[in-house]
């Protein structure tokens, strides 16, 4: 039996991805070869790459004037590649958690970071009503904070180029791509297996690459765009799997349908938490993530947290232990999670509470 997987990343992926990818690993397109044995420059793989890019544009309604590329190095490489390319002297970063802090650390190597942070309350809310200086090279945000459990649901209007790390809420709601100059993320939360990074970049942003700074070839966005993500050997297996996710999202009704399901799952879980005498959410209500649902036990039950993780595990609900920096629990309910997965966890929570009340 397939378990109820609440892992934060890598995480649950769709059954159609698992089936079609495993078949292609054994034999791809009736070629007498595996997907991972053929040349990335063969027409059969080129078709996979082209379809992945086209589906990405279609599913996310990406306007003209943007390129989609797939690279290695994870979202973490983007933390350094972005300032390397675009930070001449100063950039604005929203510091909303662990990943945003890591991005800031890299940016500081290249200039001044103007930072607005929610660290004062352990990243339990999403900052609002701040000013952005006029002279920044770009604004960097993390739309969903995978570890702390907050999310922003609007597409910001800012004057400077807007760059967003969407690793953990990508394709979970419609996004007005035109408001962003770059959207990126590691695939392993909503898009596919770990090992590929997606980048949606406005072609005009390339005009802002810092002049007079030598940038290693592999770290130049322009090269990867020009070469169609094939400057070097791309991660073919991962790109195939990403295509399977995009096909699945489209068949399910697109990002609008993904959002509806995400709201349904999150509401069920947050309602259970809010009506419980044992569990509590430390996150500001309006900023609660639909993808990473963070909760803890009330003080009088704190010593039962490990016991509940085991109790849920016996009921096939796995991956709910909170990140070591936050404690408690985190149920990650990405696109491939089902309402049945969440219902199973809710039942475990209710049963545990009844047993210990």
Which residue number, 146 or 272, has a Cβ lying nearer to ligand PLP? 146
In angstroms, the Cα distances linking 302 to 60, 213, 307, 331, 346 are 42, 53, 10, 18, 19
Is 167 a binding residue for ligand PLP by CB under 6 A? The answer is yes
Which residue number, 125 or 308, has a Cβ lying nearer to ligand PLP? 125
In whole angstroms, what is the distance from residue 34 CA to residue 337 CA?
Answer: 29
Q: What is the CA radius of gyration of the chain?
A: 21
Which residue number, 101 or 220, has a Cβ lying nearer to ligand PLP? 101
Contact 281, 270 (CB under 8 A): yes
Tell me how far, at minimum, the Cβ of 78 lies from ligand PLP, in Å.
Answer: 8
3-state secondary structure of 275: coil
Which residue number, 200 or 297, has a Cβ lying nearer to ligand PLP? 200
Helix (H) or strand (E) holding 270: helix 254-274
In angstroms, the Cα distances linking 225 to 53, 159, 180 are 12, 25, 17
Is 319 a binding residue for ligand PLP by CB under 6 A? The answer is no
The whole-angstrom distance between residue 117's C-alpha and the CA centroid of its chain comes to: 20
Considering only residues 56 to 95 of the shown chain, the ones binding ligand PLP according to CB under 6 A are: 74-76
**44 catalytic residue (yes or no):** no
3-state secondary structure of 292: strand
Is 168 a binding residue for ligand PLP by CB under 6 A? The answer is yes
**Of the candidates 9, 83, 161, 193, which one interacts with ligand PLP according to CB under 6 A?**
9
Is 165 a binding residue for ligand PLP by CB under 6 A? The answer is yes
Both tokens of 73, joined, read 């190095």
Tell me how far, at minimum, the Cβ of 357 lies from ligand PLP, in Å.
Answer: 35
Size of the site for ligand PLP (CB under 6 A): 12
Which residue number, 173 or 348, has a Cβ lying nearer to ligand PLP? 173
Catalytic residue selected from 57, 110, 137, 165: 165
**189 catalytic residue (yes or no):** yes
**102 catalytic residue (yes or no):** no
Q: How many CB atoms lie within 10 A of CB 256?
A: 11
DSSP string, 136-159: -S-EEEESEETTTTEE--S----S
Is 236 a binding residue for ligand PLP by CB under 6 A? The answer is no
Q: Which residues bind ligand PLP (CB under 6 A)?
A: 9, 74-76, 99, 142, 146, 165, 167-168, 186, 189
- Residues recognised as catalytic: 99, 165, 189
């Amino acid at each position: 039996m397939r378990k109820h997987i609440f892992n934060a990343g890598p995480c649950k992926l769709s059954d159609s991805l698992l089936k079609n990818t495993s078949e292609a690993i054994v034999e791809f397109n009736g070629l007498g070869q595996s997907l991972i044995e053929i040349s990335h420059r063969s027409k059969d793989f080129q078709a996979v790459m082209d379809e992945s890019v086209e589906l990405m544009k279609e599913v996310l309604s990406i306007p003209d004037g943007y390129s989609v590329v797939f690279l290695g190095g994870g979202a973490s490489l983007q933390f350094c590649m972005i300032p390397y390319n675009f930070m001449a002297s100063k950039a604005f970063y929203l510091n909303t958690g662990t990943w945003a802090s890591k991005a800031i650390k890299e940016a500081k190597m290249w200039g001044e970071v103007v930072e607005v942070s929610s660290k004062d309350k352990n990243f339990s809310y999403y900052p609002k009503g701040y000013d952005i200086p006029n002279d920044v090279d770009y604004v960097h945000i993390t739309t969903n904070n995978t570890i702390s459990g907050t999310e922003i649901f609007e597409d910001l209007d800012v004057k400077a180029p807007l760059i967003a790390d969407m690793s953990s809420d990508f394709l979970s709601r419609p996004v007005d791509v035109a408001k962003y100059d770059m959207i990126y993320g590691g695939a392993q939360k909503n898009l596919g297996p770990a090992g590929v990074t997606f980048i949606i970049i406005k072609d005009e942003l390339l005009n802002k690459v810092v002049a007079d700074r030598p940038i290693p070839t592999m770290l130049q966005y322009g090269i990867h765009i020009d070469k169609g993500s094939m400057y070097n050997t791309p991660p073919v297996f991962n790109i195939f799997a990403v295509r399977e996710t995009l096909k699945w999202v489209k068949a399910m009704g697109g990002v609008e349908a993904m959002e509806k399901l995400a709201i349904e799952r999150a509401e069920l879980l947050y309602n259970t938490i809010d009506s419980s005498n044992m569990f509590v959410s430390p996150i500001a209500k309006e900023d609660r993530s639909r993808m990473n649902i963070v909760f803890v036990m009330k003080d009088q039950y704190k010593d039962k947290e490990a016991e509940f993780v085991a109790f849920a595990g016996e009921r096939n609900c796995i991956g709910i232990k909170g990140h070591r920096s936050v404690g408690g629990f985190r149920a990650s309910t990405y696109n491939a999670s089902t309402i049945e997965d969440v219902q199973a966890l809710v039942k475990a929570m209710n049963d545990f509470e009844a047993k210990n009340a």
